[in-house]
Structure 1
Amino acid sequence: MKKLLPFIFLFFTFTLFAQTKNIISSEIRWKGYKTLKAESLSHNGTIKLKSGNLVFKDNNIIGGNFVMDMTTMDAEDLNEDKKLKKMFENHLKSDDFFDSAKFPVSTFQIKSLKKLNNPAFNYQINGVLTIKGISKNISFPAKISDFKNLTTITSAKFTFNRKNFGLQYNIFEDMLISNDVEMNITVVAK
């Protein structure tokens, strides 16, 4: 028991001095390309956030967690063709890619932040992205701002390698798809 006392003390100290804000609005945008990165050979859309929070200490973000609802993937570029849109979205949600029936959520956990000397993106956010049960470290620049008790995080455009998360289609089709998936994220916490 004596060995556990320091850990218990640290836990309660952290809990007493940390503040949590819940995410009240979000926009998560994605874009994927064929191997030739042309706009005409791309798809883009959104994913809805299921839940999320930011953890603060001394008015600085020290952590956070975002849960993305993978069943809500939307291919906005196909809005004009409802049949093709539905077919493509079902393809993305199938076990060909995200397997949202088996893995209905993906998560991002903030591990650390680094202040940057850049007014457009004033922090580097480091964390762990988990897709299909596979976790990988990722980092991206972001603008963090506070206004009237609201904290907003707006990321720069960043990419992740889909193959690192087991997002692969059959070998012939897969060769035509770029490995990089672009993301932009904006969240507001209160």
Structure 2
Amino acid sequence: MQKFNNGDRMGALKLFEESLQKSPTTSQRHAALFNSTAVHASFGDVELAQITLREGVNRGLDFEGALKSTDDPQLVRFQGSPQIVIQLRKFAEAVRRIKGAVASPADKPAAAPSGRIGASASGDGGNYLGRDMSGMLRTEMSGIDPSLGGIFRRVAGLLLTGLVLGAVLFYVGLKLAFPSYS
């Protein structure tokens, strides 16, 4: 395992990102993504660490195994606060569970009456990870004209309604504010 000091971290991060642009093997890709996650975590940037971790887990990276690995020369030593390590472990587990729940359509089991896809090992019924959310997130556009003319008519109607309503409320407000001038 390599250890990078503060001056080397940005250079190392650049090398890891460049290695991903080439045609790396699966092992090299996992190492580059884990190492990028480790560098981002060492800076305390959890969001960037999660981006690279998500890609790694989605591509088969065993984050927990990489954290514990001490004999792989491709992996850097993970230096992050205990809070960041815990947060990234939970994140990796959530990504792994979502990846398992969002299998290919041929592999996806039928939705249970509760809307869940398959059964979670932990049995957490209130957890949205692993649930089919497509019904809740669907937007129906039936009856709405998406053409330019339809959009123009809706905007013109909204503006006209706003102007008329604004004028009426303005005069009602004048009557209420100054009743003696009527």
TM-score by length of 1: 0.19
Higher relative contact order (CA 8 A, sep 6+): 1
Q: TM-score, normalised by structure 2?
A: 0.19
Higher strand share: 1
Which has the higher Rg, Structure 1 or Structure 2? Answer: 2
* Structure whose residues are more often helix by fraction: 2
